[in-house]
Structure 1
Amino acid sequence: MERGSSKHGPRIDEQMSQEVAGLVQGPGTGGSRVEEFREAEPAGEDQPGATTAPAGELRTGAPQGMSSEDVEARSRLGRFITLSALPGDREALVANARDNDAPADIVAALERLPDGTRYQTVSEVWAALGHTNETTRW
């Protein structure tokens, strides 16, 4: 028993399969997933090209009271302090950072923390290192 469409003839089935070939097979096989009229137009002669990352300070992602560089640096610090180390004092944080293969600058910063203080969060550690955290809005 031959399987095929019961609504169309073989000629129409072939035509329909060619129309969707680009969607089914991908762009490497001669067809494109995007129709020409849907492609973005290139920038004009006197206009800069489009980029995914704007130059300068990023407009999103930085809370009030912090720059995007501060957010990135605090995030980097937090990558080497696991939740099992918190709450913890200077010695516990330094040991945890070393266990997580923290770079020398992170370990050195943690070694500068005051002795005898327990830190509950990475934000508290960040503030104890002399940086500012985001400000709350009231």
Structure 2
Amino acid sequence: MERGNSKHSPRVDDNMVQEVAGLVQGPGAGGSRVEESRQPEPAGEDQPEPKTVTAGASRGGNPQGMSMDDVEARSRLGKFITMTALPGDRAALVANAQQNQAPADIVAALERLPEGTRYQTVSEVWAALGHKNETTRW
């Protein structure tokens, strides 16, 4: 068998292959950690097991006064209104959304905005469309 490298001994070559196996093969091939000593330790005897989902009400980061659906819908609106359109009036916002290939429901909602009002932020546009923004904590 012909070796591709003659600078190291076969033992060193094998060690080098093991060291980079996680990088070469990726996480799907047994994990990205090569050595057992690099595996995370399990929770202690008196410690709870880590969970990805917390018990009780969702603590996903939605702001006070808004549901996660509201946050996602406002974010969706913001995807199609770029910063170059703000501050802007209804015509500028509609043109910007169309330029950004906004779906018909977003364009229709922006066309319902009152004429002659300039909006500084997406949150102001969201509120003008009749939705709630987060409440400020004092």
Deviation at 1:20, TM superposition (A): 3.7
Amino acid at match of 2:12: D
Partner of 1:108: 108
- 2:88 pairs with 1:84: no
Partner of 2:98: 98
Residue by residue over 1:7-52, the C-alpha shift from the partner in whole angstroms, topping out at 9 and shown as x without a partner, is xxx4643563465464354269x876457x859xxxxxxxxxx8x7
What CA distance in whole angstroms lies between the structure 2 residues aligned with 1:124 and 1:31? Answer: 49
What CA distance in whole angstroms lies between the structure 1 residues aligned with 2:23 and 2:12? Answer: 15
Partner of 1:133: 133
Query: What is the percentage of aligned positions where both structures have the same residue?
Result: 59
- 2:20 pairs with 1:16: no
What CA distance in whole angstroms lies between the structure 1 residues aligned with 2:96 and 2:31? Answer: 51
After TM superposition, the runs of 4+ consecutive aligned structure 1 residues lying more than 4 A away are: 30-35
Q: 1:3 aligns with which of 3, 7, 16?
A: 7
Unaligned runs of 5+ in 2: 1-5, 41-50
What CA distance in whole angstroms lies between the structure 2 residues aligned with 1:83 and 1:24? Answer: 39
What CA distance in whole angstroms lies between the structure 2 residues aligned with 1:86 and 1:31? Answer: 49
Unaligned runs of 5+ in 1: 5-9, 40-49
